[in-house]
Amino acid sequence: MFLTLTTTGTPERPATDLGYLLHKHPDKAQAFSTSYGTAHVVYPEADDQRCTAALLLEVDAVALVRRGKGKGRGGAPDAALAQYVNDRPYAASSLLAVALSSVFSSAMKGTCHARPELPAEPRPLRVEVPALPARGGAELVRRLFEPLGWAVAVEPVALDSEFPEWGDSRYVRLVLESQALTVAEALRHLYVLLPVLDDAKHYWVAPDEVDKLLRAGEGWLAEHPEQKLITSRYLSRRWSLTRQAMERLELVRLAEADDSEVEEIDNAVGAETEEEQRPTPLAVQRRDAIIEALQASGATRVLDLGCGQGQLVQALLKDPQFTQITGVDVSMRALTIASRRLKLDRMGERQASRVTLFQGSLAYTDKRLKGYDAAVLSEVIEHLDLPRLPALEYAVFGAARPRTVLVTTPNVEYNVRWESLPAGHVRHGDHRFEWTREEFRAWADAVAERHGYGVRFVPVGPDDPEVGPPTQMAVFEIDQAGPKNEKEAKAA
């Protein structure tokens, strides 16, 4: 990983003053050992007109891995493959920011004993980062640096010139130019913004991270229009560390066994779930519609099948009508988050006795699901491949057989009304299908017929005269007399 810092000058204000500012002599190659490898500072050019300092961090990738906790069984490091082969030796990630702060610490503080007046003087500066990981793309890079007085040039880097169809990589080549900033300011900008642009996978953590941010951001961060994003991304690395520790690596390994990206498999819970998101109006309307239907059904023992992060469970807890609320999800991660959201460990005994969360799967029958008054399948069926739907149908309507079953699913016809949704796209990456009203009704009617339920349909959200509501809900009620009762038989 590599970056250069260039300044220009005149015989009166020579460019080589950069050597004083950085506390590094221009005619020497100097090496500094940092926690992740050796940092080198050399000057490819150094005269009165132009002086460039280059910082090169030689990451010791093997040592970096071995540093990790080697707690895996058989002495094998318990870590994901991505820890071994990655861009850290090359890209200007957070590690480079660490090196920057340790090699140029005085410069960052703006102290220079030999020439105390120098640090405060703005100079013409040019920063080049040839391989900068930029989550958020060129657009965000501009939004981050331009308000600070930089002229920004960003060029995307192609993933692989032999496979142009793969498109651009997440790296950009960044050139920043300014006449009005000091070296210290430039370094502090880089120190904060390199990790912000990095994809947050390569974190480091220290308890005083907030202090570091405040110090480095002094004088510019408070006024920055993207202050919120900068702060949350910079500090999010700390959260992601805690999350990483808590996360189960089992899914990571299964993804790797299959040469898949972890996100392809471990995606039951969105990435942004850690912070309390504001629910969309539609999610609220959906929840209200479900609760209303449950209240009307007279159910007291309720199953939330595919409970996700437990939002519905939490809402149901507020109504004493529901004496037993059971959330079931196949994702252990979702259940962990749900349990945290509900504060199950701190809940009073009486309240806690109303809630149960456990891992389950609707691809299998499950005796624990028997004996409930009602089951909710809210935005669940569309996450199953169509050929697996009969298994869910049997598990719920055939085996568990609650009196009432509520099923909600997107109405694909409504998608044309979503402004942000490109035509022909589903609403969520993991949706295996989205149904029209007619398709949903056909399925629901057939299920009801096969299992002895009656079914009616309730629109959720604004019922558009042309395309219907955004969410469709089916309310199944069990046929009290049994699937095919005697009376019917006699009538027939």
Residues 254-283 close enough to bind other proteins by CB under 8 A: 254, 256-261, 264-265, 268
The answer to whether 372 touches 323, Cβ cutoff 8 Å, is no
| Minimum CB distance to other proteins, residue 219 (Å) | 30
Span near other proteins by CB under 8 A; candidates 185-193, 218-226, 310-318, 482-490 = 482-490
Span near other proteins by CB under 8 A; candidates 114-122, 215-223, 278-286, 377-385 = 377-385
From 42, 316, 342, 473, residue interacting with other proteins (rule: CB under 8 A): 42
Strand segments, DSSP code E, in 203-360 are 301-305, 324-329, 355-359
Q: How far apart are CA 148 and CA 110, in angstroms?
A: 17
Span near other proteins by CB under 8 A; candidates 46-54, 116-124, 225-233, 456-464 = 46-54
Joined together, the tokens standing for residue 172 give 């950009």
Strands 324-329, 355-359: pairing kind = parallel
Q: How far apart are CA 144 and CA 221, in angstroms?
A: 10
| Minimum CB distance to other proteins, residue 382 (Å) | 12
| Interaction of residue 245 with other proteins, rule CB under 8 A | no
Q: How far apart are CA 182 and CA 473, in angstroms?
A: 61
Q: Helices 183-197 and 209-216 sit at what angle, rounded to 10 degrees?
A: 140
Interface map 289-328 toward other proteins (x if CB under 8 A):
----------------------------------------
| Minimum CB distance to other proteins, residue 331 (Å) | 6
Q: How far apart are CA 341 and CA 330, in angstroms?
A: 17
Which of 350/367 has CB closer to other proteins? Answer: 367
Size of the site for other proteins (CB under 8 A): 101
Torsion sign over Cα 138, 139, 145, 151: positive
The b-or-e profile of 277-308 (16+ CB within 10 A means b, else e) is eeeeebbebbbebbbebbeebebebbbbbbbb
Q: Which residues from 1-20 bind other proteins, rule CB under 8 A?
A: 1-2, 4
Interface map 154-193 toward other proteins (x if CB under 8 A):
---xxxx-xx-xx--xxx-x--------------------
| Interaction of residue 352 with other proteins, rule CB under 8 A | no
| Interaction of residue 477 with other proteins, rule CB under 8 A | no
From 331, 408, 415, 472, residue interacting with other proteins (rule: CB under 8 A): 331
Span near other proteins by CB under 8 A; candidates 203-211, 214-222, 273-281, 357-365 = 357-365
Which of 433/457 has CB closer to other proteins? Answer: 433
| Minimum CB distance to other proteins, residue 47 (Å) | 9
The answer to whether 209 touches 238, Cβ cutoff 8 Å, is yes
| Interaction of residue 482 with other proteins, rule CB under 8 A | yes
Which of 325/384 has CB closer to other proteins? Answer: 384
Residue of 86, 44, 74 lying closest to 203 (CA atoms): 86
DSSP code of residue 444: H
Span near other proteins by CB under 8 A; candidates 371-379, 411-419, 439-447, 476-484 = 476-484
| Minimum CB distance to other proteins, residue 288 (Å) | 28
Q: How far apart are CA 169 and CA 176, in angstroms?
A: 20
| Interaction of residue 202 with other proteins, rule CB under 8 A | no
Cα separation values, 109 from 20, 92, 113, 182, 216, Å: 13, 22, 12, 11, 9
- Where helices occur in 209-280 by DSSP H, the ranges are 209-216, 227-246, 250-257, 262-265
Please enumerate in sequence order all residues whose Cβ is within 8 A of that of 24, keeping only pairs 6 or more positions apart, or say none.
30, 41, 43, 53, 103, 104
From 7, 16, 52, 94, residue interacting with other proteins (rule: CB under 8 A): 52
The answer to whether 174 touches 12, Cβ cutoff 8 Å, is no
| Minimum CB distance to other proteins, residue 78 (Å) | 5
Which of 52/404 has CB closer to other proteins? Answer: 52
| Minimum CB distance to other proteins, residue 392 (Å) | 9
Task: Determine the 3-state secondary structure of 37 from DSSP.
Answer: strand
| Interaction of residue 425 with other proteins, rule CB under 8 A | no
| Interaction of residue 130 with other proteins, rule CB under 8 A | yes
Span near other proteins by CB under 8 A; candidates 76-84, 101-109, 136-144, 371-379 = 76-84
